[in-house]
Amino acid sequence: MSEPIPSSTTSSETSSSVILRPRQSQWPAISMEDALKIVVETAQPIISKSVPANLVRPGMVLYEPVIAKNPIPPARTSIKDGYAVIASDGIGDREVITVTTAGSITTLKVTPGTCARVSTGAMIPAGADAVVQVEDTELIKHNNIEEQVIRILKPPKENQDIREIGSDVSIGQILLEKRCILGSAEIGIIAASGQRFIEIYRKPKVCVMSTGNELIDWTAEETPEGKIRDTNRPQLLALLNVHGFKTIDGGIVGDTREQLIQSIKVAFKFSNVIVMSGGVSMGEKDLVKSVLKDDFGFTIHFGRVFMKPGLPSTFATGTYENNDLRYIFAVPGNPVSAWVACQLFAIPALRKLGGYQNCFQTEIKVRLAEQIRLDLRPEYRRAWLSTTDNSDKESTISDNENIPLAFCTSHNQLSSFILSTRGANLLLKLPSKTESQQFLKSGDIVSALVIGQL
Ligand SMILES: Nc1nc2c(c(=O)[nH]1)N[C@H]1C(S)=C(S)[C@@H](COP(=O)(O)OP(=O)(O)OC[C@H]3O[C@@H](n4cnc5c(N)ncnc54)[C@H](O)[C@@H]3O)O[C@H]1N2
Ligand code: MOO
């Protein structure tokens, strides 16, 4: 856990009194590596809850393994539409003594020289030990309604085309491991397991609020002079929803200590995590860190991170009213910084809280489609992956050319330029510039975080 640089400032000095504000940030700009380590080490999964099996949904994470309550299949069933026979009878004519279709039961027994007509999925009648598919038979006698005698044309082998009880899954078998993330396949497996209740990790509820006197709601018909539309709140609510988290809209909060305190208190009534944007830098109205530290007594784990965009990103935790740990991600107000910082810090923490084993975005190697001027800070540049397929010229291209190309979404990558987020499915991880390296060339290979559908 990193502590702020010792400072002689008091709580009143970090208030709105502009003449007293510190002229240098009190918060060391820690490395991205340290910040991410702090975030995932601090975030601890919340408790579990039991949900009826028919209410499990994609994205839920298992708190306990799912165990088979019944064997699959639960009875000996036919794999084919055909005839259940006694294998040792070999080829020849058989009297059809009964019929079983999927879901029906017969008490009749197949005896030498007889057979039962069966459908795929039907129970095999007692006595039979093989199924002969209809294609390998011939109809010999019928009464215009029912088959009476059929001929087996190919010698059957014992157990042919029969699924034995429990041959797919036995009782007590672990079907899904603890921490498994449920998708459509896993939901099907849960349905087959016979379990009626499933224990899952409780997902955190996240309140999203925007701070700033300049903000008006994005639904407003007009933008009054001096105001701007609150874009961060809808953007971050949607981002969190895409990642499967339940969100609460905390609205717009004015830049006063009282309004911040009041809004955070209300948010804590409904959520254990707050993502708030704005008010974390050096301006006289940037009160968020001070409110969290001085009014809520929260620990500020970091107040700046040496990265771009998102330098003043802040992460704080503390308890409020009960002993549950509350988490606050205070991301910068610039829309791009807010979006990137939420992806980099809040999403991994929320995934950890929700029981996910792998909290971070998938990282891939990409080839730069253009030259990039490096920044003093390590940068997360918005980009999209080319889907050009090179498979037809595989033998003529080098290994590097096989690495997919990434195009920056725009040349303008300022943190205020919201269009730089448009279409981005990657965040390129660019290193800081050095004396010897000021640029990356077109064709250079860099790592990138996957943040959208490829
Ligand atoms: N003297 C310094 N000034 C600034 C520094 C610094 O280190 N020293 N850091 C800069 C960096 S980097 C960033 S990023 C911004 C972040 O500042 P804040 O988090 O305090 O954000 P605000 O000042 O409240 O707003 C910044 C910018 O974004 C607009 N904004 C805010 N909220 C929203 C919203 N919900 N929707 C749309 N736009 C929003 C706001 O109007 C400002 O234009 O600080 C730099 N300054
Ligand atoms: O870090 Mo700020 O987000 O560069 O603009």
Q: How far apart are CA 152 and CA 148, in angstroms?
A: 13
Supply the ipTM of this predicted assembly. Answer: 0.97
Among 450, 373, 447, which residue's Cα sits nearest to residue 413?
Answer: 373
Does the pLDDT of residue 292 top 80, yes or no?
yes
Residue nearest to atom 24 of ligand 1 (CA): 278
Within 6 Å (CB) of ligand 2, which residues are found?
Answer: 308-311, 332, 334, 337, 415
Task: Please say whether the beta carbons of 199 and 49 come within 8 A.
Answer: yes
pLDDT band at 391 (very low <50, low <70, confident <90, very high): low
* Tens digits of residue pLDDT in 300-316: 999 999 999 999 999 99
Whether 265 has a pLDDT exceeding 50, the answer reads yes
- Sign of dihedral through CA atoms 132, 136, 139, 145? positive
The dihedral through the CA atoms of 223, 224, 230, 234 has a sign that is negative
**Residue 368: what pLDDT?**
97
CA distance 29 to 17: 24
Q: What is the pLDDT of residue 47?
A: 87
Residue 311 CA to ligand 2 centre (angstroms) = 5
CB contact at 8 A, 274 and 205? no
Q: Distance between CA 61 and CA 46 in Å, rounded?
A: 12
Specify whether the CB–CB gap between 245 and 349 falls below 8 A: no
Domains, the chain, ordered by start: 12-47+202-353 (3.40.980.10), 48-71+167-201 (3.90.105.10), 77-163 (2.170.190.11), 363-450 (2.40.340.10)
The closest alpha carbon to 214, from 230, 198, 196, 203, belongs to 230
CA–centroid distance, residue 2 to ligand 1 (Å)? 23
Ligand 1 cavity residues, CB under 6 Å: 210, 212, 214-215, 228, 230-233, 277-283, 286, 309, 311-312, 332-335, 337, 415
Tell me the pLDDT tens digit for each residue of 230-252: 999 999 999 999 999 999 999 99
**pTM summary value:** 0.87
pLDDT at 26: 87
Q: What angle do CA 242, 245, 250 make, to 5 degrees?
A: 100
Q: For residues 375 and 366, give the distance between their C-alpha atoms in angstroms, rounded to a whole number.
A: 19
Instruction: Answer for the pair 158, 44: CB distance below 8 angstroms, yes or no.
Output: no
278 sits in the region (left: phi over 0; alpha: psi -120 to 50; else beta) called: left
Query: What mean pLDDT is predicted for residues 281-305?
Result: 93
Tokens read off for 61? 């994470």
From CA 349, how far away is CA 36, in angstroms rounded? 9
The predicted-structure confidence for 2-44, as pLDDT tens digits, reads as follows: 444 434 344 433 444 677 777 888 899 999 999 999 999 999 9
